[in-house]
Amino acid sequence: MPEGILTLFACAALVLDVMLPRNRKRVVAWVSLAGAGFALVSLWILYSGIVTKGAPRTAFYDMIVLDSYAVVFKSMFLVGAALSILLSMKYLDVEGEQRGEYYALILFAVVGILRQVQPQPDPLTCLRVDADAVPVIAVVEAPHDRLPPASGWPPRPHRHGRRSARR
């Protein structure tokens, strides 16, 4: 399943983040991008089985169902994850904030999103929604005062203690 592949690559990204020196963190981004690509390929391999059988694939006593509806949306989310990783690599290099846990966070969030695209509802839906909210909360609640503003907004107060010209 694509979720298992993404989980393995996200764990590998965390391990690589610890092992690699600071100037080599871009490798973690490429590993995460490869994980999204392998998950997409595995999804389409599973989809070929759906087309040949003419019926959705099930696993774990029908708790996980993969049909053409799920394949379309899972493909969209995987492509979106790959694009966000690609776009983030250059930006984080420019900002000097290339960190491996960011890419692992993206992959873990996509795992939760992929679990939500199921054709039959189950009692764990509310837990899956909560699990998807955790990475968003972590990013929003991160201390932003240590990071340099990318666009100059919000404006920082003057450090010299001078008042503005307006009174």
Looking at residue 147, its pLDDT comes to 54
Task: Report CA torsion sign: 28, 70, 76, 132.
Answer: negative
pLDDT in tens, the chain (167 residues): 788 899 999 999 988 888 888 778 788 889 999 999 999 999 888 888 777 777 777 777 777 777 888 888 889 999 999 999 898 888 887 777 777 788 888 898 898 888 877 766 556 655 555 555 566 555 555 555 555 555 555 555 556 555 555 55
Integer CA distances (angstroms), 12 to 6, 26, 28, 130, 158, in order: 10, 14, 8, 24, 43
- Residue 154: is the preceding peptide bond cis (ω within 30°)? yes
Looking at residue 78, its pLDDT comes to 92
For the chain, the maximum distance between any two Cα atoms, rounded to a whole number of angstroms, is 77
Bridge partners of 65, per DSSP, are 58
Contact 119, 70 (CB under 8 A): yes
Distance CA 62, CA 54 (A): 16
3-state secondary structure of 2: helix
Contact 42, 35 (CB under 8 A): no
**Quick one: which of 4, 27, 3, 2 has its CA closest to 15?**
27
Bridge partners of 162, per DSSP, are none
Give domain limits for the chain.
2-144
Looking at residue 81, its pLDDT comes to 92
**Quick one: which of 46, 45, 43, 53 has its CA closest to 73?**
43
What is the pTM for the complete model shown? 0.69
3-state secondary structure of 17: helix
